Amino acid sequence: MLEIRDLHVHYGGIHALKGVSLDVPKGSIVTLIGANGAGKSSTLRAISGLVKNKRGRISWNGTDISSKNPVDIVKSGIVMSPEGRRIFAHLSVLENLRLGAYSRSDEAGIAKDIDWVFELFPRLSERRNQKGGTLSGGEQQMLAVGRALMAAPELVMLDEPSLGLAPLIVKEVFDIIRMINSKGMTVLLVEQNAYAALKVAHQAYVLEVGTITLSGTGEALIADDRVREAYLGG
């Protein structure tokens, strides 16, 4: 499991995270909700090793990973699918998936996982030789999730996976999150769509200007008046 204790992040003069602590138990879906600029992405970027200037403890299955670089983090079993999907538009669907498996060298396992991703997302399978940029928004999100799964991670971190998608597709994205979780994947989800995120999450944290202000089960937070008022439109 992932344990974060008293995590601080600074960007230049900005103190983006002011002592964040949270737990992501194995096999669960944990969500981090909050307004724009609250520090949700910073938390994920710190875990994934992109942010170097940080303080605090990030412990993964018992070892401190706070000083590791992104490549080692991926190898340790944590992968992040960044905000905006960021698929490689000029590479084919298949190449995007192969890129997700870059840290692995077990060719047989990679081939098996490509088949598995195509099984999970038959629409990607149909478009396997198409360039990533020709896919629709929803398909691109499937590709972004599929690419992350190709790293054979234990923990998948999703940064705003529903951003910019049509309502029908948003529902599909949350179904996908439930599905990969049911396949044994631990999920840390950052979302602005607080209601949908809380519905799907086992455990949830509310982040406000760099500090965790509330935490509890997804259901408990949906029922919480402060959350209803601030994030669920009253």
> Which window, 18-26, 29-37, 59-67, 77-85, contacts other proteins (CB under 8 A)?
77-85
- Of 55 and 86, nearer to other proteins (C-beta) is 86
48 lies in the binding site for other proteins (CB under 8 A):
yes
The sign of the dihedral angle between the CA atoms of 62, 65, 66, 70 is negative
Shortest distance, CB of residue 80 to other proteins, whole angstroms? 5
Burial of residue 11 (CB within 10 Å: 0-12, 13-18, 19+) is: exposed
Among 26, 55, 57, 86, binds other proteins (CB under 8 A): 86
**Quick one: tokens of 83?**
């905000």
Shortest distance, CB of residue 206 to other proteins, whole angstroms? 25
82 lies in the binding site for other proteins (CB under 8 A):
yes
54 lies in the binding site for other proteins (CB under 8 A):
no
Shortest distance, CB of residue 196 to other proteins, whole angstroms? 24
Among 18, 75, 123, 131, binds other proteins (CB under 8 A): 75
- Residue of 24, 123, 129 whose CA lies nearest to 80: 24
Number of shown-chain residues binding other proteins (CB under 8 A): 22
Return the SS3 of 53: coil
Give the whole-angstrom CA distance, residue 112 versus residue 152: 11
Give the whole-angstrom CA distance, residue 129 versus residue 195: 36
**Quick one: tokens of 56?**
């605090």
Give the whole-angstrom CA distance, residue 133 versus residue 148: 17
- Of 145 and 222, nearer to other proteins (C-beta) is 145
Tokens 């972004």, residue located: 144
Among 1, 5, 56, 95, binds other proteins (CB under 8 A): 95
**Quick one: tokens of 227?**
């959350």
Residues that bind other proteins (CB under 8 A): 48, 50, 70-71, 74-75, 79-80, 82, 86, 88-91, 95, 98-100, 102-103, 147, 151
